[in-house]
Homo-oligomer: A and B are copies of this chain.
Amino acid sequence: MVKLNSPSVGGVQTRGANRDDLRQGNLATLLEYVYKNTTISRSDLTAATGLNRSTISDLVGELVDLNLVSESESPQAGRVGRPSANVTISDSIFAITVVPRHHSTTISAVAMNGTVASRVRIATPIHPSPEEVCDAVERGIAQVRAELKRGSRVVGVAVVVSGQVDVRNNSVRICSMLKWVDVPFGSLLEERLKMPVWVDNDGSLACMAESSFGAGRGFSDIIYLFGGAGGIGGGVVIDNQLVRGSRGYAGELGHIRITDSRSVDSLGLTGTLEALVNRDDLAHALGLDDPEDDDLSRAILSATTPRAIRLIEKKIQALGFALANLVNIFNPQVILLSGFLQPLFQANDYSLLSKMRQNAVAGSREHVQIRTTELGGRILEIGGAQLAFTDLIADPARARFF
């Protein structure tokens, strides 16, 4: 990818580019287009990239030779002129995604076209040790790969952790769900599997997925917030780039403080968004005991008791404060809400919007939208796969498979 304009601001550290980089960048750009669109015509690629027809022909040819994309006659009729061939992303290149939970770990094979070809859930002890998860992953991958058709290629493994991850060395700083502290899980797993492993935070990956394939499509500046049983996570995309921070801990949006309340969140911080807006409170007030997401959502939207309605309104107010903070800091185009934050928004979108606007600066509050997310239960698999495919897309010619 070649980025012109806006030179880097800090200490200069840009390297020069040679002819190889040029070719590599163009291949990457093309492959990214095909990946993001699953299938796209050659003429659209020409228009989008601004490259010459003959160049596109050459580059696509190379991607076909690399077995990364395939060309097919386009059945798209109705337009004057010679029909343009469709370029479709490979359906035989996979990322393995790993999502460890309290007492089970889910392993999936996700193709570049987004389909989950195979998925298994391996039970583990409660709060499994890193080794126990490694065992589960090893078994899971064997099972998952057995179901893939012959000739399938795997780029590596993406581990989606609900906790703080140092993305520079793929190690888990803290994961309360698994009770892990400073676990170099990436290295552990890499040694076992002899293939590349990437580890990242669930909120960041979900944000990335939603940005590329979900409700964030077409927006360059996005705030993503997810409310789950474990708390509130999130992610930020600025100028089409995921904000990771210096080590990858950025986007801990649940832990921003908004009030003096002494209620604490999952990390013991007081007055934070997560401390004020939590799932258990809501479920309890609505008379539910450990409900499924859908049940909680329905309950929130059809709440009738004054106490429940008051509580919901209170949560909406708190969420509004947090959103205002984020709007003031980022001036985003859109805020995406998922998990139980989604029904909160739907229960009284006017209230949430006005609370947010009340506490945001003039310019930023004016055009920001709040939306619900589009990707459902597969979001972590899609986000994890995207992480695993990143290197391949950045340098298609040098891709290695396992």
- Which residues of A are at the interface with B, using a C-beta cutoff of 8 A? 1-19, 21-22, 24-26, 28-30, 32-33, 36-37, 48-51, 55, 164, 166, 173-174, 208, 211-212, 216-222, 236-253, 255-261, 267, 269-271, 321, 324-326, 328-333, 359-364, 367, 390-391, 393-395
Contact = CB atoms under 8 A, between A and B. Distances in A.
12 contacts: A2-B14, A2-B16, A5-B390, A11-B217, A17-B26, A18-B22, A164-B363, A239-B244, A248-B331, A257-B325, A258-B258, A267-B361
Contacts of A261: 260
A259 B256 contact: no
A25 B4 contact: yes
A246 B394 contact: no
A249 B120 CA distance: 46
| Copies of this chain per assembly | 2
Contact of A29 (B16, B25, B257, B259): B16
B14 A331 contact: no
Contacts of A12: 32-33, 36-37, 48
A51 B331 CA distance: 38
Given A11-B240, A245-B364, A259-B260, 6 more contacts: A9-B237, A9-B240, A11-B219, A164-B363, A164-B364, A249-B364
A16 B367 contact: no
Contacts of A240: 8-11, 13
B246 A220 contact: yes
A348 B242 CA distance: 35
Q: Which of A13, A26, A219, A255 has the most CB of B within 10 A?
A: A255
B246 A331 contact: yes
Nearest to A218: B11
Nearest to A235: B9
Contacts of A326: 329
B241 A245 contact: no
A2 B5 CA distance: 10
A222 B237 CA distance: 17
A329 B16 contact: no
A274 to B, nearest CB: 11
A15 B174 CA distance: 39
A382 to B, nearest CB: 12
A208 B9 contact: yes
Closest 3 CB pairs of A and B: A245-B331, A16-B49, A2-B17
Contact of A11 (B6, B36, B208): B36
A227 to B, nearest CB: 17
Given A15-B50, A240-B8, A362-B164, A329 B3 contact: no
A362 B173 contact: yes
A309 to B, nearest CB: 22
A10 B50 contact: no
Nearest to A24: B4
Contact of A259 (B15, B24, B243, B259): B259
Contacts of A11: 36, 212, 217-220, 240
A340 to B, nearest CB: 21
Nearest to A32: B7
Contacts of A37: 12
A216 B12 CA distance: 12
A28 B14 CA distance: 10
Contact of A28 (B7, B26, B243, B324): B7
Nearest to A364: B249
Contacts of A321: 257
Nearest to A386: B9
